[in-house]
Amino acid sequence: MTQPIFMIGARGAGKTTVGSALAEALGFRFVDTDLYMQQSTGLSVAEVVAREGWQGFRARESQTLEKLSAADTVVATGGGMVLSSDNRAFMRSAGTVFYLRSPANVLAHRLEEYPEDSQRPTLTGRPIGEEMVEVLAAREALYQEAAHYVMDGTVLPPVVVEHIILTLSPVFSAAMVK
């Protein structure tokens, strides 16, 4: 059994796409914290935020992170999961953390191309391009702090998965020797 693998990054970074492909390639279980919260509450992220505020949403998010973190699991986290120092410390100690890093213009383009308004509520009320610049400026250091590895999120998902597997191969080899 191996520790969980956490995918972190901003909205639109590809955490769900890459995470699910990685889980399939490794034979792991895949979970998405936002999707799990949506399914377990029957509410979208936007609805939880409207009812409980961001503080209530973040508390649910932290509980969900710990609940879903299990061996042989790839966990795609919400973009703001790193805002909590407890979440950053938990992920680093409980598993291996990959930050899918992309510039704001790439993230904005993806979010405009595949809008999921109820799943990805605006954080600032500003146009998505401006919002992503602001969000990355506020969170980049937190993503870096939480991550064991930083991956180029601008390349195609199969390439990212391949890079992650190559990065993990020494870890898997060491675990098999023990």
Torsion of CA 107, 132, 161, 33, to 10 degrees: -120
pLDDT at 44: 84
Q: Tell me, what DSSP letter sits at residue 78?
A: P
Q: What's the pTM?
A: 0.88
Q: Tell me, what DSSP letter sits at residue 89?
A: H
Looking at every residue in the chain, the average pLDDT score rounds to 88
44: Cβ contacts below 8 Å, ≥ 6 apart: 38, 118, 119
Mean pLDDT of 81-94: 97
Q: Which of 177, 171, 173, 164 is closest to 74 using CA atoms?
A: 164
Q: Which of 27, 70, 26 is closest to 161 using CA atoms?
A: 26
User: What architecture (CATH level 2) is domain 5-154?
Assistant: 3-Layer(aba) Sandwich (3.40)
* Pairwise CA distance, residues 175 & 172, whole Å: 5
pLDDT digits (tens, 9 = 90+) for 54-64: 899 999 999 99
Identify the bridge partners of residue 149 per DSSP, sorted by sequence position.
Answer: 98
pLDDT digits (tens, 9 = 90+) for 92-148: 999 999 999 999 888 888 887 766 544 455 566 677 788 888 889 999 999 999 999
Residue 5 carries which side chain, given as an amino acid letter?
A: I
Identify the bridge partners of residue 100 per DSSP, sorted by sequence position.
Answer: 151
* Pairwise CA distance, residues 110 & 20, whole Å: 18
Q: 150: helix, coil or strand?
A: strand
pLDDT at 124: 61
- Higher pLDDT: 161 or 120? It is 161
pLDDT at 152: 95
